[in-house]
Amino acid sequence: MEVKARAPGKIILAGEHAVVHGSTAVAAAIDLYTYVTLRLPLHLDENNDRLTLQLKDLSLEFSWSVARLKEEIPYDDSSNFSPSTPSSCSSETLKSIAALVEEQNIPEAKIWLSSGISTFLWLYTSILGFIPATVIITTELPYGSGLGSSAAFCVALTAALIASSGSDKTRGDGWSSLDETNLELLNKWAFEGEKIIHGKPSGIDNTVSAYGNMIKFCSGEITRLQTNMPLRMLITNTKVGRNTKALVAGVSERTVRHPEAMNSVFIAVDSISKEVAAIIQSKNENSVTEREERIKELMEMNQGLLESMGVSHSSIDTVMQTTLKHKLTSKLTGAGGGGCVLTLLPTLVSGTVVEKVVQELESSGFQCFTASIGGNGAEIYFCSD
């Protein structure tokens, strides 16, 4: 039996960093996906005892004997193993899993994959138990550049696991969503997976990836938004690696040094996020062009405020200047200090201009993606065989 699942990445449209200090942030799904293909043997075969994980984009494969996994991972079958009630991975379990991951030959340069592979083993065995399978991952998202690749991985994997466990009854043609109950379940499992990778994730990434569309996030509370306008962005990956923790700490230290100024900056960002959310949800009071103009202005304002927090980077400036030459507005998205930059592509922008901008950015060594914003969340696909 083969099940495919896909889950989108995300961008932060407004409010990054300030969200840590109580401001509202807005995040949106993008139509760049991580795909998971899950192949389960139709009949259990004593000769096939392997759980195999293929990371196609990295040309890496990892494989474990299912019997060994069962021996090593200390689940208490009677109580803990329960696919419909997501729980956190205990430190004891994580330790055993990490040992199993360490045995694999992960290339030194890709050692950051370890936590993702641990998450895989944990989600797989928690939801499907100890049965052999092949899981193939491909992704359109760059790893670790703030586009939510780890959440998309957790969500797509969990979607495939839930679908193949048979608990989802929606068997549409082609790609179809999960039902609300399973979406909720999926989101909870994915959040638990994100915890293994990130320690203390905000829950924004997995929620956007699971439900799609957009969300508003403030003081730990997530509100799903219904977008009423199409929005297209050019996403530029500067490929400059950043240290998110150091950037977040830097903003906090600056806030200690200049509390009055910084708190006003955070209040300004809060207003901007709320305005962005309102424009996106507004129903045709203004033309799309007018609404795009407003979003463009709010993006410019937010970028200025991010610069006043000290989280920009010369690579981001280069993207800003290149796009500005073509009258396009950009802002960093996520942690800053490199990472990714958003450029609004208005409905009326010509394809030639976009091509030119992309060409210029790529000749500076950046990687460009064009993405629609606020699309579908996790989806599954049952392959007829």
Q: Which residues are catalytic?
A: 205
- Give the pair of three-digit tokens for residue 60: 């890496």
For residues 320 and 380, which CB has a smaller minimum distance to its own copies in the complex?
320
**Residue placing its CB nearer to its own copies in the complex, 126 or 273:** 273
Of 101-109, 175-183, 299-307, 335-343: span binding its own copies (CB under 8 A) = 299-307
| Interacting span for its own copies (CB under 8 A) from 108-116, 197-205, 212-220, 254-262 | 254-262
Q: Counting contacts by CB under 8 A, is residue 360 touching its own copies?
A: no
Residue 319 Cβ vs its own copies, minimum distance, rounded to whole Å: 11
Q: Confirm or reject binding of residue 321 to its own copies (CB under 8 A).
A: yes
The packing angle between helices 204-211 and 180-198, to 10°, is: 150
Q: Would you say 49 or 300 has its CB closer to its own copies?
A: 300
Q: How far is the CB of 270 from its own copies (least distance, A)?
A: 8
260 sits near its own copies (criterion: CB under 8 A): yes
| Binding of residue 318 to its own copies (CB under 8 A) | yes
Residue 192 near its own copies by CB under 8 A: no
304 binding its own copies? (CB under 8 A):
yes
**Among 118, 125, 134, 303, contact with its own copies (rule: CB under 8 A):** 303
252 binds its own copies, rule: CB under 8 A: no
Could you say which of 80, 226, 228, 264 contacts its own copies (CB under 8 A)?
A: 264
One of 251, 306, 335, 380 touching its own copies (CB under 8 A) = 306
Toward its own copies, which CB reaches closer, 68 or 294?
A: 294
**SS3 labels along the chain:** CEEEEEEEEEEEEECCCHHHHCCCEEEEEEEEEEEEEEECCCCCCCCCCEEEEEEHHHCEEEEEEHHHHHHHCCCCCCCCCCCCCCCCCCHHHHHHHHHHHHCCCCCHHHHHHHHHHHHHHHHHHHHHCCCCEEEEEEECCCCCCCCCHHHHHHHHHHHHHHHHCCCCCCCCCCCEECCHHHHHHHHHHHHHHHHHHHCCCCCHHHHHHHHCCEEEEECCEEEEECCCCCCEEEEEECCCCCCHHHHHHHHHHHHHHCHHHHHHHHHHHHHHHHHHHHHHHCCCCCCHHHHHHHHHHHHHHHHHHHHHHCCCCHHHHHHHHHHHHCCCCEEEECCCCCCEEEEEECCCCCHHHHHHHHHHHHHCCCEEEEEEECCCCCEEEECCC
Q: By CB under 8 A, is residue 154 in contact with its own copies? A: no
Q: Which is nearer to its own copies, 102 or 297 (CB)?
A: 297
User: Which residue from 239, 294, 326, 356 is in contact with its own copies, where contact means CB under 8 A?
Assistant: 294
Tell me: does residue 317 bind its own copies (CB under 8 A): yes
- Rounded Cα gap, residues 8 and 35, in angstroms: 9
- Name the one residue in this structure whose structure tokens are 């997995």: 206
Q: Write the CA distances from 302 to 361, 375, 381, integer angstroms.
A: 22, 23, 39
Is 218 an interacting residue with respect to its own copies (CB under 8 A)?
no
Give which of 202, 3, 167 is closest to 85, Cα–Cα. Answer: 167
Confirm or reject binding of residue 320 to its own copies (CB under 8 A): yes
- How near is the Cβ of 74 to its own copies at its closest, in Å? 51
Closer by beta carbon to its own copies, 134 or else 330: 330
Q: 298: number of CA atoms within 13 Å, CB side? A: 24
Size of the site for its own copies (CB under 8 A): 35
Contact segment (CB under 8 A) with its own copies among 48-56, 89-97, 149-157, 297-305 equals 297-305
Task: Build a one-symbol-per-residue string for 266-285: x at contacts with its own copies by CB under 8 A, - elsewhere.
Answer: -xxx-xx--x----------
List residues near its own copies by CB under 8 A.
254, 257-258, 260-262, 264-265, 267-269, 271-272, 275, 294, 297-298, 300-310, 314, 317-318, 320-321, 324-325
